[in-house]
Amino acid sequence: MSEMFKISLPDGSVREMPEGSTPADVAAAIGPGLAKAALAARIDGELVDLSLPFTGDAQLALVTSRDEEEALDLARHDFAHVLAEAVQALFPGTQITFGPSTDDGFYYDFAPNPERGPFTDDDLPAIEAEMRKIIAANKPLRREVWDRETLISRWKQQGENFKAEWAAELPGDEPLTVYWSGEDWLDMCRGPHLPSTGKLDPAAFKLTRVSGAYWRGDQKNAMLSRIYGTGWLNKKQLAAHLTRLEEAAKRDHRKLGNEMDLFHLQAEAHGSVFWHPKGYVIYRALEDYMRRAISQADCKEVKTPQVMDARQWEASGHWGKYRENMFVIPDEVPNTEDDGPIISDEAQWMALKPMNCPAHVLIFKQGIKSYRDLPLRIVENGCCHRNEPHGALHGLMRVRQFTQDDGHIFCREDQIVGEVQAFCEMADRVYKDFGFTYAIKLALRPDNRIGTDEQWDKAESELRDAVVRAGLATEEYGWEELPGEGAFYAPKLEWHLTDAIGRTWQVGTIQSDRMLPERLDASYIGEDGARHRPVMLHRAIFGSYERFIGILIEHFAGKLPVWLAPVQAVVATIVSDADDYAQDVTRKLKAAGVRVETDVRNEKINYKVREHSLKKVPHLLVVGKREAEEQTVALRTLGAEHQKVMTLDEAIALLKVEATAPDLRTDLPS
C-alpha cells in the first residue's frame, strides 16, 4: 500500500494524496474547472510544474490566471520557448542560446546559420505563424533531469555549441533539467512551465523587433540575433499594451526633442547630450528650482573636481568594484612623436568621477567637526561620467555624462530618522509640484551583504520609521517593502513616479551608509570628547537632470507646464499692419518675465498656429488691425478648442502667473 501525504491548501483544508501524486491530481480531485484553470503550483512556497510529484506532506497553492503576476511570467517564459522551437523549425541549422521573460514580454537569442545570415524584422510574420501552429498543437511540456555529460554530448552532436558551453559551466551540484515540447523538441531550462503549449493564447502575443546581441553580453563574443516579443494572458491585454506602445512612441523624448529643437546626440560624443538653447532653458529652470528647494531645506551647495587620483578611488572601494564603469585617465603628458606609445607603462592613473560621494567625504573631513556641527547637509549639481556600453545608451534616459542633484547628509545616529523624514517631506513637495503621483518603497537586505543582522534591523527600522513619521507609509503613497533589493551595504528608500500613460520611473532615493565614512576615515568629536563615525545619507530627488527631463517630456507629451516651456508664448500677426503692436505686446510680456517670441512673417495665420502648435508653444497671442486698435489679443492656448479675446493687461497678468514656478506662486494651495 502506497504512503499517503497530507496536502494543506490555502483555505485550511487538508487532502490526503497517495505517493506519486502531483498538484495536477489535487486540482482534478477538487473539480474539473480548477483542473482546467490550473497553470502551475507552489509547493511549500516554491513555484513548480503541475506535474511535479509530491515527496511528502506539503503546503500547496495552485496558480491560475487570477494570480496574474505569476501567470504572466509563466506565459512569457513559454512564449520564449515556443519562439525558439518555431525558429528552428523554419530555419534549420539555427543554434539556440537562451531567452528569458521580461517586464512586458520575452526574447530569445539565436545564432543563425551563417549561410542564411542574421534575422530581420521581415522574418517575424512567418515566425509568428509557426508559433501559433505550435500553440494550436497543444504539445505537452514535460520536464526531465539529465546527466551532465549526456546532455553536453547531445548538444555537441546537434551542433548546439552555445548550449554545450552553458551546460558545462553550470554549478556541478545543480541538476540539469530539460523540457520537451511534445516528443520532438527540447530545451535546457530550470522551469517551471505551463502544462502544455495550448495553455497559451495564440492571439495574446506579438513579435516586435530583431536586434543584435553579443553572446553572454560580451562584445568579444559572437554576435547573435535577438528576437523580442510581447506576451500576455489574453488578446485584450495585448491590445491594451500595443495601445500604450503607440502612445509611448508619440511621446518618445528623442522624437519630441528633435521636433522642439531641445537637444541632440551624435557619435562624436557617445552618450553625452548637446543641449540646444531651448533645451538648456528647461535644464536651467530645473536647476534653479532645485537650488531653491535645497536652500529651503538648509542644504549647502558645493562643487567638487571632475578628476581624482586612482588612489582615492581605491580607498573608497570603487576602483576594485566599479572600475569597469569608470573612464580612466593617465596622469602623464602624452607622447607627441609619431613613433612609440602615446602613454608609457609608468603612467599614474586618475579617473573621471562616476559619482560624487567620495569627494563629499573629503569636504566633510576638512577641519575638525564637532557633534554640534551635525547634521551637515551638502548638495552638488555634480557632473558624472560612467562608461556605459554603447548598445545600452538610450536618449536622455541612459547616458554616459549626466548631472545629478546629488546630496549627502552627515549626521549622528540619533539624527537619522529626523533627517530622512525631512527628506521624504521635501521629495513629496517636489514631485507634487511637477504633477506626479508616486509610490515609495523600502528596499530591504539582500542575501549578499555586509554587516550583522542587528545592524540591518536597525538601518531598516530607521528608514521605515521616518516614512511612518512623514505620514507616507500608506496605500495612497503605494508604500511597499521589497525584500532582497537593497544595496549590499545598506537598505534604501525609492520613489517610483507614475507618468501620464501609467509607466513607472524609479527616480529619487535615500539610503544610509556607515561603510564609506569608515573607509575614508571620516569622524567628528562627540559630546564625550571621543572620535565617532558619522552616518552618511545619500539622497537625490531628480536622480539625473538628463533622465528627469526625458521623463518630463514623455509625461507631458512635450506640452510642458508653462513655467518649464522654453518658449512660453508667441505673438503672431494676422496682417503686417499689426507688426508694431506685436512688438509692443512682446516687450511688455518680456518685462513681465515671460519667455516670448514674435512671429511677423508674411504667412497665413493658420500656418503659424499649426507650426507653433507642433513646437508645443503653450500660448499663441494673435493680433491684427482690430486688436491693435482695441489693445486686445486673441489668446489661443495649446490643446484648447477656442480662442479667448481679452485685454492686453489681462493676458499679461494671466501669463505672468502661469510662467512662475510653482514653488514661487502665491495663488496655489499650500
Positions marked active-site = 357, 386, 404, 406, 408, 492, 538
Rg (CA), the chain: 31
DSSP, collapsed to helix, strand or coil, labels residue 90 as helix
The burial class, CB within 10 Å (0-12 / 13-18 / 19+), for 131 is buried
Handedness of CA 74, 75, 76, 78 (dihedral sign): positive
Instruction: Reply yes or no: is the peptide bond before residue 375 cis, omega within 30 of 0.
Output: yes
Say which DSSP state 498 is in.
E
504, three cell numbers: 513607472
For residues 160 and 95, the answer to whether their CB atoms sit within 8 Å is yes
227, three cell numbers: 528576437
d(CA 261, CA 279): 7
For residues 565 and 617, the answer to whether their CB atoms sit within 8 Å is yes
Overall residue count recorded for the chain in this entry: 670
- Residue identified by cell 491560475 is 64
Handedness of CA 32, 37, 38, 39 (dihedral sign): positive
> CB neighbours (10 Å) of residue 638?
17
For residues 151 and 188, the answer to whether their CB atoms sit within 8 Å is yes
Question: Kind and range of the H or E element at 450?
Answer: none
Put residue 480 in one of left, alpha, beta given phi > 0 → left and psi -120 to 50 → alpha. beta
3-state helix, strand, coil in the chain (%, to 5): 40, 25, 35
